[in-house]
Amino acid sequence: MPYMNHIFCKLIRKGELDAIQIDHPLFHATLLLQGAQLIEFSPQKNDFNNLLWLSKSVEYKQGKPLRGGIPICWPWFGNLEKNPDNIQQQVKSEHRSAHGIVRDIPWHIGSIKESCESVIVELEVQSNESTLNIWPFDFSLVARFTFSQTLTLELITENTGKECFAFSQALHTYLPTNDITQTYIHNADQAQYIDALDDWKEKVQQGRVVFNQETDRLYFLKNNSKSEQFELRVESPGQQLTLTTKSSRSAVIWNPWIEKSQRLSQFSAEDYKSMYCIESANVMSDHKTVAPEQKNSIFLQLEL
Ligand code: TA6
C-alpha cells in the first residue's frame, strides 16, 4: 500500500481491494482503485448519507465487478453483440463479458489535490498485455473525480496508439430511492429511446419516466438539441437530484424489477425497490471514435 501524505485522504483496504477513503468537512467518499469505482459519496447536504446505491451483499474481490456506486463501462457498454459492428469487430478474443475491460482491473493514483472546498482525485489506467490480448489498441484513461457538495466525474480517453479506434462507454451510476414506485425521471419527455426489453425497438418517451416494470432503455437527446449536454432531474420520496451529462447524447435508465433481480449477482430479491440506474453514456449511434493522440471526455455531475 503506497504511503499517502494527505489531510483528508487515506488508503484503506476493503476486502481484497485498495480504496481511497476521503473524510472532508463537506463530504465523505470511498473510491476503489479497482475499476476507479466510486462506491460512496456522502455530502453534508445529504446528511452524510451515501448519494449512491451500493448492494448490501457487495463482494470486494479482485477481478470481480461490484454491484453499486459508479462502475465505468469502457470500451464498450453492455452486451458487446448489441454494439455497433465497428466496435464489435475491434474485440480480438472470445472475451465477451458485459461492460468492457476496465471496471474490474487495477487503476493507479495519478494525483490528489485537497482544499477546504474540494478534493480532486485522478485515477489512471493504461493499455497493457492483458487488455491488448482482448482489445488491440493502446490507450490511456483518466477518471477525474471532483468532490465537494456535488460530485463530478470526467472520464478522459486518450488514443496513445497508431490507429483510430471506436468505443462506447457509460458511467453506470446506481442511485438509491425510498420507493421505486414513487420515483420519476423528468426532462426525457419526447426523447427517443431503444427498449432493450422489447427487441431493441425504437420508441418515444411520453412524459416522465416511471418505474412499474423491468426497465432497460437507451435514451437519445432530442435531435434538435445542439448541445452535447443534458440534465435529468429525479424526483423520489424526500429527494430531488439533478444528473447533468456533458459530451454525451445518450443515457441508459435501468431497473431489473422482480424477475431479473432473481438472476443478478450481489443483489437481493427486494433490492429493485430501493435502487435504479441512470448511466451517462455514449452508446449506439452516439458512440465515439478517437484518432491517434486524440482525447475524448464524458462528464457527469450529481447535485442535490
Ligand atoms: O445498464 C443496464 C445493463 O446493461 C442491464 O442490462 C444489466 O445487465 C445491468 O447493466 C447490470 O449489468 P452487470 O453486468 O453489472 O450485472
- With CA atoms as reference, report the closest residue to 193 among 246, 252, 235: 252
Q: Which three cell numbers stand for residue 285?
A: 449511434
Q: Which residues pair with 192 in a beta bridge?
A: 204, 220
C-alpha 216 – ligand 1 centre gap (Å): 9
Rounded to whole angstroms, the Cα distance separating 37 from 18 reads 11
Question: What is the CB < 6 Å shell around ligand 1?
Answer: 65, 78, 98-99, 172, 216, 252, 254, 264, 277, 279
Block means of pLDDT (10 residues each) for the chain, 304 residues, are 79 98 98 98 98 97 97 97 96 83 97 97 97 96 98 98 98 98 97 97 98 98 71 96 94 98 97 98 97 98 97
- What's the DSSP call for residue 257? H
pLDDT tens track for 116-165: 999 999 999 999 999 999 999 999 999 999 999 999 999 999 999 999 99
C-alpha 179 – ligand 1 centre gap (Å): 21
Q: What are phi and psi of 70, to 5 degrees?
A: -130, 85
C-alpha 289 – ligand 1 centre gap (Å): 23
Q: Which residues pair with 152 in a beta bridge?
A: 146, 301
The residue whose CA has the least distance to atom 8 of ligand 1 is 78
Rounded to whole angstroms, the Cα distance separating 89 from 57 reads 36
At residue 207, the pLDDT reads 97
At residue 228, the pLDDT reads 77
Q: Which three cell numbers stand for residue 286?
A: 452516439
At residue 223, the pLDDT reads 53
- Residue 177, CA distances (Å) to 153, 259, 272 in order: 21, 19, 10
Question: In 3-state terms, what secondary structure has residue 258?
Answer: helix
- Ligand 1 atom closest to 98 (CA): 14
Number of H helices, E strands in the chain: 3, 22
At residue 230, the pLDDT reads 87
Cell 447536504, residue?
Answer: 45
Q: Answer positive or negative: Cα dihedral of 181, 186, 189, 193.
A: negative
- With CA atoms as reference, report the closest residue to 41 among 61, 7, 70: 70
- Ligand 1 atom closest to 99 (CA): 14
CA 138 to chain centre: 22
